[in-house]
Amino acid sequence: MQICIIRDTAFIPENCQITAIKAKEFGYNIKFCKQLSAKYPQNILLNVALIGNKLFCKEADVATEIKEYCTEHNIEIINVNQGYTKCSTLVLSNKAIVTADPSISEAATEQGIEVLKIAPGYIVLDDADYGFIGGASGVIGDTVYFFGDIHTHPDHREILCFLTKHNMKYFSLYSGPMNDIGGFVYLEKQE
């Protein structure tokens, strides 16, 4: 939750200079935001899900810099009740997501996005009752990488069928239960 990439811009807390240096090496424009806190809601300033030209988030708690960027670049902000929007959403494409969260599911469906709604839980998150599918996965190209074995989730068959339907492959990075590590951000060289 220390970086948010929207198009060619990396939003980074002002105290994360090493992250900013790395993002700049890849050619991203850097916008600094205020420092994050470990407590909710100050820890969700960058926790947003970009799906096509729509930014799903708990708007009241998102960094001002992100909201201003969206306004300037005609990205529609879709408000949801879930503050951990990115953590709660596995974005497969501009037209398909996987989530257990009802507010994200409803909002995405209203926007014409196909949603696979899965059961909450079954994902480990230290010091919490359970983790989220977005925090337990990441996408590079046409492959979803799961932190743990996707077959340990009770909805694994539905998830794998949904991936196939949307021409996505998958790879479980290790055996055992899925773990919410906060997901990952894939940096691509910007031109």
pTM confidence score: 0.96
Q: Residue 2 pLDDT more than 90? A: no
For residue range 70-104, list pLDDT tens digits in order. 999 999 999 999 999 999 999 999 999 999 999 99
pLDDT for position 35:
87
pLDDT for position 54:
98
Contact assessment for residue 144 and residue 90, using Cβ atoms and an 8 Å cutoff: yes
pLDDT for position 37:
87
Structure tokens at 175: 């055996």
Contact assessment for residue 87 and residue 182, using Cβ atoms and an 8 Å cutoff: yes
Q: Residue 1 pLDDT more than 80? A: no
Q: Is 14 or 1 the better-scoring residue by pLDDT?
A: 14
In terms of C-beta distances under 8 Å and separation of at least 24 residues, what long-range contacts does 59-64 make, across chains too?
63/4, 63/11, 63/33, 63/34, 64/33
pLDDT for position 36:
87
For residue range 106-134, list pLDDT tens digits in order. 999 999 999 999 999 999 999 899 999 99
In the three-class reduction of DSSP (H, G, I as helix; E, B as strand; rest coil), residue 72 is classed as helix
Q: What percent of the chain has pLDDT over 70?
A: 100
For residue range 26-76, list pLDDT tens digits in order. 999 999 998 888 889 999 999 999 999 999 999 999 999 999 999 999 999
Average pLDDT, the chain: 96
Give the phi and the psi of residue 190 in degrees, each rounded to 5.
-95, 145
pLDDT for position 165:
98
Structure tokens at 32: 């600094």
